Amino acid sequence: MPESAAQLVPDRISDGTWTGYLRPDGRKGIRNHLLVVYTVECASFVAQEIAKDEPDTHVIGFPGCYDNDYAIRLMLALATHPNIGGVLAVGLGCEYTQPHRIAEAVRASGRPAESFFIQEHGGTRSSVAYGKELLASLRARAAADAERVPMTWADLTIGAECGGSDGTSGLAGNPVVGRAFDRLVDLGGTAIFEEVVEMIGLRDLMVARAASPQAALQLGATYDKMLNYCKAVRQYSVAPGNFAGGLTTIEEKSMGAFAKGGSRPIQGVIRVSERPPRAGLWLLDSVPDEHFMQFGYTNPNDTEGIMDLIAAGSQIVLFITGRGSVIGSAVAPLIKVTGNARTYRNMIDDMDFNAGRVLSGELTMNQAAGELMDLIADVASGCESKPERLGHREFFFMYKHQDVPSLEAGCRM
């Protein structure tokens, strides 16, 4: 059961209204976190030490020394996310990716930002001390800048990802999230789902859901690229745990996974680090584009997809599992939903929502979706989700090639 006691949600004014943080670009955050960004693996330890014992500070970073357009777009999208109030970029000093350029881009978004190279500030100890000083000043500025404003469902973008799926995921977990997505869209909000690699065999179903002829073309092209990719790498998005949980083929898993997209028309396809240009239901394509190196691997783990959904502006991500999972996410809270009542009991500290009650007949699908919406409103109001409470802040970046976002979906409006 969601813990929705009124005393836990001081910022929740009434159903569907709560207080958020207004950002200069007009978007609203549900958290006012600080973000430390490292620009190469060599700076990651110092970045993590700077953020240690700073409950409001999350860390992301890119491990490679050679820069990558896709990864830089991803870092910038996360650094200017509505849940982020200020940013510290930390580099070693040798790498291609430039911390000061990240800080400049963040300042251009109207947020305070600082940067430094470790090589210019001594070693580990002095760099950590310097970073903590910068963090304290960023925190003061972020707190002063944060304008508290009312927020509604129309201000929310929510992502959905599934992982550790089993035979219950397609029957309960994903369909309940799909119903909640329908409600969010009907209330004027924005919903994003991804995992195109788990839409095997569903080309006709996807295209039939298109909101416009152009969206139909995008969905068809996205499917075709994905299938070529899977054939080329000879790997489909189905894993030993899925098999053990009763899923036999990628086709079966795909039908269940697609259910999290609900039933509303799909407005179009966005790519990694793009934002939906308007409200409604959107599909996120994280599959690498064809490139001379076949550059990058898609959906190598759940965290990558979650980061992509957050980079698209999701203030909250719903994570649907059957077998169970113990991840969280940096920047935006993860809400864990399971359709497997046994998993809910076994992982009670990690699981936020038991959609398995639909299978036992305790709740109808609509009742479950309603309860899930209440839980989302609680988390948007400031209640910590279970992964947040446990301190989870996972992130994952890799080299990948995607062409520069198209102007149509790029939404620079």
Scanning 22-30, 108-116, 163-171, 313-321 for contacts with other proteins by CB under 8 A, the matching segment is 163-171
User: Is 245 an interacting residue with respect to other proteins (CB under 8 A)?
Assistant: yes
What one-letter code names the amino acid at 293?
M
Scanning 3-11, 146-154, 235-243, 262-270 for contacts with other proteins by CB under 8 A, the matching segment is 235-243
DSSP-assigned letters across all residues of 390-406: TT-----------PPPP
User: Is 360 an interacting residue with respect to other proteins (CB under 8 A)?
Assistant: yes
Strand spans (E) along 47-177: 57-61, 84-91, 113-117, 147-152, 157-162
In the bound state with other proteins, the residue whose beta carbon lies nearer, of 65 and 239, is 239
What's the N-to-C CA distance of the chain in angstroms? 41
**Using the rule CB under 8 A, which residue among 155, 252, 304, 371 binds other proteins?**
252
User: Is 192 an interacting residue with respect to other proteins (CB under 8 A)?
Assistant: no
**Using the rule CB under 8 A, which residue among 213, 240, 293, 413 binds other proteins?**
240
Scanning 114-122, 243-251, 278-286, 306-314 for contacts with other proteins by CB under 8 A, the matching segment is 243-251
Scanning 15-23, 72-80, 230-238, 307-315 for contacts with other proteins by CB under 8 A, the matching segment is 230-238
* Structure token digits, residue 409: 């979906």
In the bound state with other proteins, the residue whose beta carbon lies nearer, of 16 and 241, is 241
User: Is 195 an interacting residue with respect to other proteins (CB under 8 A)?
Assistant: no
In the bound state with other proteins, the residue whose beta carbon lies nearer, of 218 and 343, is 343
Strand spans (E) along 6-45: 12-14, 17-22, 28-29, 33-38
Q: Where do the H-state alpha helices sit in 237-391?
A: 240-244, 250-258, 302-311, 341-346, 365-380, 386-389
Residue 286 near residue 298, CB atoms below 8 Å: yes
Contacts (Cβ under 8 Å, ≥6 apart) of 113: 79, 86, 87, 88, 89, 102, 103, 104, 106, 107, 138
User: Is 207 an interacting residue with respect to other proteins (CB under 8 A)?
Assistant: no
Q: How far is the CB of 116 from other proteins (least distance, A)?
A: 44
User: Is 243 an interacting residue with respect to other proteins (CB under 8 A)?
Assistant: yes
